[in-house]
Amino acid sequence: MLTGKVQRRPRGDLIRVLVVDDEADIRELLDLTVARMGLSADCAATVTEARQFLEQQRYQLCLTDMRLPDGDGLEIVRLIAERYGETPVAVITAFGNTQNAVAALKAGAFDYLAKPVALDQLRSLIKSALDLPRVGAAADGAPPASAATRLIGPSAAICQVREMIDKLARSQAPIYISGESGTGKELAARLIHDHSARRTAPFIPVNCGAIPENLMESEFFGYRKGAFTGAESDREGFFQAAQGGTLFLDEVADLPLPMQVKLLRAIQEKRVRKVGNTAEEAVDVRIISATHHRLKDCVEAGTFRQDLYYRVNVIELRMPPLRERSEDIEPLVEALLRRLCGAQPPRLDRQAANALQAYSFPGNVRELENILERATALCNGDTVVLDDLQLAPAMAVRDSLGREGESLDDYINRVEKQAILEALAKTAFNRTAAARLLGVSFRSLRYRIERLGIEE
């Protein structure tokens, strides 16, 4: 039964796992573990045999070795991702071979295990794979998205982010969420967790920039009673608190270098050691990190370790700035006003709505929230007018200088458009007043408005 022979075993409607490894004793170990969990395994010794099994049968999980006599595990990962998207696949890598693990996760593997295979890790991997919500089954596995936790926005960019979130929820790969401040990085991290097999375990957000350096190790990994003065009892760290769930490392670029080394170790080994303890304990935690810095720049500047960068940045999710998706502003305003004021929120008059459309939101959705909160406090009755918004004279252009790949002409047009939109917003869309403010003639302004395709 443990030879690599391709022979389908008749077994009712058991949950089936495909095991692919060329070493007979590893196949046996995996087969036994799977059987003890009440599942059944088919075992293949080569890529070819694995292909044959996959053609005959649907599997709820595939565990594959990386190095196989007739190919490598990545081929199987890719094949499954292309043809059998329903089946999560995990790879088993040689001890310390991080590149392999990262390559597999990027190719769509759900998770990986390092050799020698630790049985507790294997069992928790199998459990989470079987707990995965099914593809496209938002209604049945996933929790109902409450109004407060939805990612709002009809723009193509946000639709794409929502699709990515669904996809990422079905993997255990470490994710790095990039984006300017206030773009919804933490919200995205929560949604990934809430839609994943880990949703019933904790989501632990940690602001890496807010922890004093001398407390970091004990905050992350916990400590034993008596480890240092004041350690009066054992305490868990963030890793233990997030056991089975997700650890969200916000502002990860703010971690000091010595802590980066320890974090890398914890992620790689899936084990941590409490301060004052000699033994390590296994942890099963998914890492999602974020920062509003460009992490790559931090690596170049030497403030962020390259090896940790590759580890946390297996898959990047980019949150687009609000100024690149102005069609999201109106639906966001509506939803945020309802969140702030309940069932009968105030309305924005046309000028106020236009001004928001024209505004550049350097602080993104968070700034929009703040603007609306202030406006609802300031407004008279049920209508928010331009004045209530108290829009800051914007400096939007400054912080987006030199966007990648932008030509000089595009840049100049963007600056010009921004300046005109702001002048229009400030003057309640009175072109004569706006022209005066900009120091150009009315005719010149009208020409520029047309040329730049600015709509009121």
183 binds ligand ATP (CB under 6 A): yes
Q: How many CB atoms lie within 10 A of CB 410?
A: 11
Shortest Å distance, C-beta 214 to ligand ATP: 24
Residues 37-96 that bind ligand ATP (CB under 6 A): none
133 binds ligand ATP (CB under 6 A): no
326 binds ligand ATP (CB under 6 A): no
Shortest Å distance, C-beta 439 to ligand ATP: 35
List, in sequence order, every residue forming a beta bridge with 316; answer none if it has no partner.
Answer: 176
Shortest Å distance, C-beta 332 to Mg ion: 17
Calpha distance 319→188 (Å, rounded): 8
Shortest Å distance, C-beta 405 to ligand ATP: 23
Calpha distance 153→141 (Å, rounded): 23
321 binds ligand ATP (CB under 6 A): no
182 binds ligand ATP (CB under 6 A): yes
Backbone angles phi, psi at 63, to 5 degrees: -115, 120
DSSP calls for 274-326: -BT-SS-EE---EEEEEESS-HHHHHHHTSS-HHHHHHH-SEEEEPPPGGG-G
108 binds ligand ATP (CB under 6 A): no
Among 97, 121, 181, 303, the residue binding ligand ATP under the rule CB under 6 A is 181
What, of Mg ion, ligand ATP, none, does residue 153 touch, CB below 5 to 8 Å by kind?
ligand ATP
369 binds Mg ion (CB under 5 A): no
Residues 172-231 that bind Mg ion (CB under 5 A): 186
Of 21 and 367, the one with the shorter C-beta distance to ligand ATP is: 367
Shortest Å distance, C-beta 184 to ligand ATP: 3
Shortest Å distance, C-beta 186 to Mg ion: 4
Q: How many CB atoms lie within 10 A of CB 416?
A: 16
- Listed in sequence order, the residues at least 6 apart from 359 whose beta carbon sits closer than 8 Å to its beta carbon are 391, 394, 396, 421, 422, 425
Among 88, 108, 179, 346, the residue binding ligand ATP under the rule CB under 6 A is 179
152 binds ligand ATP (CB under 6 A): yes
Q: How many CB atoms lie within 10 A of CB 350?
A: 12
Calpha distance 295→384 (Å, rounded): 39
Residues 367-426 that bind ligand ATP (CB under 6 A): 369
Nearest to 117 by CA among 239, 249, 234, 282: 282
Segment lying near ligand ATP (by CB under 6 A), choices 176-184, 223-231, 406-414, 417-425: 176-184
Q: Which helix (H) or strand (E) holds 193?
A: helix 185-194
Residue nearest to ligand ATP (CB): 184
Residues 196-225 that bind ligand ATP (CB under 6 A): none
Cα–Cα–Cα angle for 286, 287, 293, rounded to 5 degrees: 165
# binding residues, Mg ion (CB under 5 A): 1
334 binds ligand ATP (CB under 6 A): no
Q: Which helix (H) or strand (E) holds 125?
A: helix 119-130
**DSSP helix/strand/coil, 53:** helix
Of 185 and 426, the one with the shorter C-beta distance to ligand ATP is: 185
Tokens matching residue 186: 């933490």
Q: In what order do the strands lie in the sheet with 203-207?
A: 203-207, 246-250, 286-291, 175-178, 315-318
Among 292, 293, 431, 436, the residue binding ligand ATP under the rule CB under 6 A is 292
151 binds ligand ATP (CB under 6 A): yes
Calpha distance 101→408 (Å, rounded): 42
Of 68 and 317, the one with the shorter C-beta distance to ligand ATP is: 317
235 binds ligand ATP (CB under 6 A): no
Q: Residues interacting with Mg ion, by CB under 5 A? A: 186
Q: Residues interacting with ligand ATP, by CB under 6 A? A: 151-153, 158, 179, 181-187, 292, 332, 365-366, 369
